[in-house]
Chains A and B, each alone.
Chain A
Amino acid sequence: AQRVTQPEKLLSVFKGAPVELKCNYSYSGSPELFWYVQYSRQRLQLLLRHISRESIKGFTADLNKGETSFHLKKPFAQEEDSAMYYCALLSGSSNTGKLIFGQGTTLQVKP
């Protein structure tokens, strides 16, 4: 079965501390994975996708096929990073198809 698991509902850290939001997936095939973020009173927006291998707002995520993980990391959290983060798996090919979402993790960065 295709599944995305985000084990933490809430992650609370102090400003300047490192952050790791966990994501594990189950997929038979070559996965395409995304991180989406939803700031307070804003729409869901794409943060990054694994095929781009880019860093957005200081966040990175590496696909580990052996551990079936796609954890989101940032070395020094900022207060403006406080938001809800969703890991998502594309079920389909050629850039189309539904996204399967994890339950989401609320990141709270305290001053």
Chain B
Amino acid sequence: DIQMTQSPSFVSASVGDRVTITCRASQDISTWLAWYQQKPGKAPNLLIYAASTLQSGVPSRFSGSGSGTDFTLTISSLQPEDFATYYCQQANFFPPWAFGQGTKVEVK
């Protein structure tokens, strides 16, 4: 099975900061990668798919990049509503549709 590893597990940041989260796949998954945001008590919400395509309605301060095994989610200027946990997920080799372990973005 493919393993997805995110780093860091926690990020302490302030409003206006640039935040970068990394996701590494244990095998080449091309660009079959999605990013989700989850706020406490809420369901996950799709942010980015195909590694770099922004889902409709997602603010442009979010961006994704990468292919193969290494991927990045960047928030260019952190906003108060962005404090949440972020997950990557691969969809190239399944089952399982593996998620990363999550990265929590906290207030510094």
- Whether chains A and B associate is no
Q: Which residues of B line the A interface, CB within 8 A?
A: none
Q: Which residues of A line the B interface, CB within 8 A?
A: none
